C-alpha cells in the first residue's frame, strides 16, 4: 500500500503558506497587500531611546493628527486598493480616545488587524473590544522588569504595573500575543526578568539590542543610551544570543540587495498626519510620496514603486561575510549616517567581532 500522501497542514502552517503566496503575488503585481496606520506619534511613555515618539507640543510643527473619520475613510480606500493585512500603531494608538471607534470600523471592513502597543492603556473596555473582534496579532513593547526601570527609561514608574495588567488582560482574549524589548544600558540587567515574565505567561519574547537613532523629528537620543560595542558584545555572550535576526526580514546572502522587504512593492504606511511612505523608519526628507486623502489612494501608492531608486549597498557590504547576519538595510544605514551608501559602523563592527572576523576599515 502506498503512503505518499503529505501530512495534513496545521492551521499555522496553512496561514504561513497563504501569507507567503499573497505577499509574492502582491509584490509581482504591485498590490498594497499590507498597510500600517500610525494613528498618533504621541505616547503614554517617554522612552529615552524611542525611534519616533513626538511630544504634543511638537505636533503642530509637522502637521495635524487625522480624525477618526479620516482614518476610517483611509481604511475604505485601502480596502478598495487591495489591502488585507493592516497594522495599527503609534506612538501609542490607545492614547486616542477614539481608538475603539477606529478599530471597530476597520474590523467591520474585514481587515486582518494587528496592533502594536505598550499595553499601559489596556482597559477592560479595550480587552472586551479585542475579545469581540480579535486582532490577528498583538505585539507589546516591554521596557523593563520593575517600576524602577520604567521610571528611568520611560519617565513613569507606574507604567510597569499598568503594562503587567495590560498584558494579562490581552492574553486572556487574544490568541496571538508577543512581547518584545529594546535593550539599552538602563534595562540590560532586566533582560532575564523580562524573559521570565514572558515564559511564565507562555508568550514569545524577542529582543532588539542594536536600536536605531530617532527619526522624523523625535527627540530621543539613542546613541547616548544604547550599549557601547564592548557592552553589547558582553550582553550577547552572557545570554548566548543567536547571531542576526534583528532586521525586518532575513536577507539573502546571494542577492545582496540594499532593501530586501516588500516596502513600496506590496506594503506602505500612512503616518499620523496622513502622509504615505513606503517605510515608517525612512528618515529621508523626500520619503513622503503624497497624501491619499487629498490626492486619492492609487496615485500616491503608484509613486512608491520608485522607493528603491537611489538606494545602494555601501561598498564594504557588497562582499561582506557578515551581510546575512547583519541584516542592516539601506534605511538603517541612512538613519545612522545620513547616507544610504555609507555603512553604520556600530552594527558593522559588532557583527565582525561577534563572528570572529577582522574589522572592516574601508569606506
The CATH number of the domain where 274 resides is what? 3.20.20.70
Confirm if 138 and 177 have CB atoms less than 8 A apart: yes
- Give the relative orientation of helices 147-154 and 159-171 as an angle to the nearest 10 degrees: 110
- Average pLDDT in the 155-163 region? 98
Q: What is the pLDDT of residue 6?
A: 40
Asked whether residue 336 is domain-assigned, the answer is no
Residues 98-152 pLDDT 10s: 999 999 999 999 999 999 999 999 999 999 999 999 999 999 999 999 999 999 9
Asked whether residue 61 is domain-assigned, the answer is yes
Among the residue ranges 10-14, 269-273, 313-317, the one predicted with the least confidence is 10-14
Confirm if 166 and 173 have CB atoms less than 8 A apart: no
Asked whether residue 31 is domain-assigned, the answer is yes
Number of domains into which the chain is organized: 1
Backbone angles phi, psi at 299, to 5 degrees: -60, -40
Confirm if 282 and 331 have CB atoms less than 8 A apart: yes
Given a cut of 50, is residue 4 above it in pLDDT? no
Please give the residue range of the domain that contains residue 160: 22-310
* Pairing state between β 34-38 and 137-141: unpaired
- Average pLDDT in the 156-162 region? 98
Taking the C-alpha atoms of residue 194 and residue 324, their distance in angstroms, rounded to an integer, is: 28
Query: Which residues face 89 on adjacent strands?
Result: 38
Given a cut of 70, is residue 328 above it in pLDDT? yes
Asked whether residue 360 is domain-assigned, the answer is no
- Average pLDDT in the 177-191 region? 97
Q: The pTM is what?
A: 0.93
Asked whether residue 145 is domain-assigned, the answer is yes
Confirm if 49 and 222 have CB atoms less than 8 A apart: yes
Taking the C-alpha atoms of residue 290 and residue 87, their distance in angstroms, rounded to an integer, is: 20
Taking the C-alpha atoms of residue 128 and residue 116, their distance in angstroms, rounded to an integer, is: 17
Alpha-carbon distances of 165 from 37, 95, 170, 172, 184, rounded to whole Å: 25, 16, 9, 11, 24
Asked whether residue 189 is domain-assigned, the answer is yes
Asked whether residue 351 is domain-assigned, the answer is no
Confirm if 210 and 246 have CB atoms less than 8 A apart: yes
221 grid coordinates: 537620543
Asked whether residue 177 is domain-assigned, the answer is yes
Amino acid at each position: 500500500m502506498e503512503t505518499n500522501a503529505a501530512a495534513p497542514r496545521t492551521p499555522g502552517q496553512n496561514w504561513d503558506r497563504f501569507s507567503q503566496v499573497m505577499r509574492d503575488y502582491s509584490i509581482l503585481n504591485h498590490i498594497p497587500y499590507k498597510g500600517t496606520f500610525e494613528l498618533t506619534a504621541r505616547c503614554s511613555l517617554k522612552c529615552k531611546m524611542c525611534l519616533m515618539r513626538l511630544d504634543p507640543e511638537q505636533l503642530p510643527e509637522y502637521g495635524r493628527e487625522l480624525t477618526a473619520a479620516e482614518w476610517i475613510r483611509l481604511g475604505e480606500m485601502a480596502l478598495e486598493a487591495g489591502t488585507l493585512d493592516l497594522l495599527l500603531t503609534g506612538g501609542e494608538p490607545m492614547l486616542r480616545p477614539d481608538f475603539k471607534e477606529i478599530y471597530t470600523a476597520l474590523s467591520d471592513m474585514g481587515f486582518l488587524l494587528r496592533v502594536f502597543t505598550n499595553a499601559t492603556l489596556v482597559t477592560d473596555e479595550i480587552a472586551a473590544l479585542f475579545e469581540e473582534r480579535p486582532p490577528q496579532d498583538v505585539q507589546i513593547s516591554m521596557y523593563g522588569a520593575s517600576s524602577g526601570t520604567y521610571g528611568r527609561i520611560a519617565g513613569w514608574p507606574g507604567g510597569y504595573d499598568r503594562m503587567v495588567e495590560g498584558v494579562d488582560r490581552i492574553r486572556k482574549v487574544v490568541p496571538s500575543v508577543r512581547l518584545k524589548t529594546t535593550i539599552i544600558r538602563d534595562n540590560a540587567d532586566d533582560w532575564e526578568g523580562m524573559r521570565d515574565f514572558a515564559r511564565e505567561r507562555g508568550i514569545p519574547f524577542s529582543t532588539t539590542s542594536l536600536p536605531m537613532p530617532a527619526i522624523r523629528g523625535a527627540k530621543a537620543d539613542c546613541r547616548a543610551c544604547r550599549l557601547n560595542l564592548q557592552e553589547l558584545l558582553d550582553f550577547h555572550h552572557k545570554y548566548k544570543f543567536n547571531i542576526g535576526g534583528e532586521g525586518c526580514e532575513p536577507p539573502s546572502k546571494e542577492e545582496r540587495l540594499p532593501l530586501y522587504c516588500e516596502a513600496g512593492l506590496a506594503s506602505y504606511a500612512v503616518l499620523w498626519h496622513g502622509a504615505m511612505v513606503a517605510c515608517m523608519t525612512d528618515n529621508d526628507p523626500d520619503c513622503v510620496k503624497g497624501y491619499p486623502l487629498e490626492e486619492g489612494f492609487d496615485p500616491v501608492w503608484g509613486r512608491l514603486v520608485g522607493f528603491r531608486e537611489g538606494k545602494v549597498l555601501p561598498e564594504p557590504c557588497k562582499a561582506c561575510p557578515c551581510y546575512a547576519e547583519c541584516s542592516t538595510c539601506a534605511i538603517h544605514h541612512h538613519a545612522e549616517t545620513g547616507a544610504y551608501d555609507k555603512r553604520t559602523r556600530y552594527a558593522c563592527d559588532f557583527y565582525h567581532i561577534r563572528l570572529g572576523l577582522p574589522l572592516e576599515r574601508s569606506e
